[in-house]
Amino acid sequence: MPVNSPIALRCWPGLLPYFTVLDAMREFTRQRDAVTGDQIWLLQHPPVITLGSNADPTDVVDPGSIPVIRSDRGGQVTYHGPGQWVVYTLLDLRRMGIGVRDLISALENAVIDLLADHAIVATARSEAPGVYVHGAKIASVGLKVHKGCSYHGLSLNVHMDLEPFGRITPCGQQGLAVTQIHDLAPDWDEASIPKALMDALARRLGRPIQRGGV
């Protein structure tokens, strides 16, 4: 399969349970071979707190009724919920000739590019993956690589209830503020964000992303 072949984009309406998607990603990655095409999954989850491979369970302070799930992604603790777009990157990194740090940078820079189009200045931090605006986190990144192939990816806060982030220590960082696009640019047409994000990511990966349903 050509290195620059299109990445297939799969999108889902509504909310998909975290465990359902996690199992599907694992199975896709387990079964893929040298000719399996790369995919990006774009979706939203119902409320869930996830613990990455480096997470301290004590960083879940007061989950209330929100489920807490141990994940196999990198990183620490975060929250997913309605109004947050999640981008799962099921890519053969060895075939692409890139490393994990390259993919993390591509995801971060795609968000930075997206926000810059609306005059929002965002930055990444080498010591704490993700994207930040004035010190507040707007996007999180966590990956898993199995036999050179990645899954998990990026979550971008768009227009959601941020209160559950106060029930955890986000990314293990005490006092870390969290923000979202709606609070920074309330006039932004939120329906345009998924497509714009995929356009930015395609540029950063140097590969087209075949769109359908965005």
CA 3, distance to chain mean position in Å, is 23
Note the pLDDT tens digit of each residue in 57-93: 999 999 999 999 999 999 999 999 999 999 999 999 9
Q: Coil, strand or helix: which one is 49?
A: strand
What confidence score (pLDDT) does residue 1 get?
58
39 is in an annotated binding site: no
140 is in an annotated binding site: yes
Q: Coil, strand or helix: which one is 90?
A: strand
Could you tell me if 85 and 130 are in contact, meaning their C-beta atoms sit under 8 angstroms apart?
Answer: no
154 is in an annotated binding site: yes
What confidence score (pLDDT) does residue 211 get?
74
Q: Is 212's pLDDT higher than 90?
A: no
- Catalytic residue (choose from 40, 104, 171, 209): 171
Taking CA atoms, 156 is separated from 147, 151, 205, in Å, by 27, 16, 18
210 is in an annotated binding site: no
Chain position carrying tokens 């507040």: 136
Note the pLDDT tens digit of each residue in 151-201: 999 999 999 999 999 999 998 888 899 999 999 999 999 999 999 999 999
In the CATH scheme, what is the homologous superfamily, with its name and number, of domain 7-205? Bira Bifunctional Protein; Domain 2 (3.30.930.10)
**Which are the contacts of 198, defined by CB distance < 8 A and separation ≥ 6?**
9, 40, 42, 209, 211, 214
Cα–Cα distance measured from residue 96 to residue 192, given in angstroms and rounded to the nearest whole number: 28
50 is in an annotated binding site: no
What confidence score (pLDDT) does residue 25 get?
97
Q: Is 213's pLDDT higher than 50?
A: no
Burial (0-12, 13-18, 19+ Cβ within 10 Å), 114: buried
Cα–Cα distance measured from residue 25 to residue 152, given in angstroms and rounded to the nearest whole number: 8
- 182: which 2 tokens? 């709606």
Note the pLDDT tens digit of each residue in 100-115: 999 999 999 999 999 9
78 is in an annotated binding site: yes
Q: Known catalytic residue: 171?
A: yes
The torsion angle over the Cα atoms of residues 73, 75, 79 and 84, rounded to 10 degrees, is -70
Taking CA atoms, 10 is separated from 13, 87, 110, 190, 210, in Å, by 10, 10, 18, 19, 9
Reading phi first (left if > 0) and then psi (alpha if -120 to 50, else beta), residue 19 is in: alpha
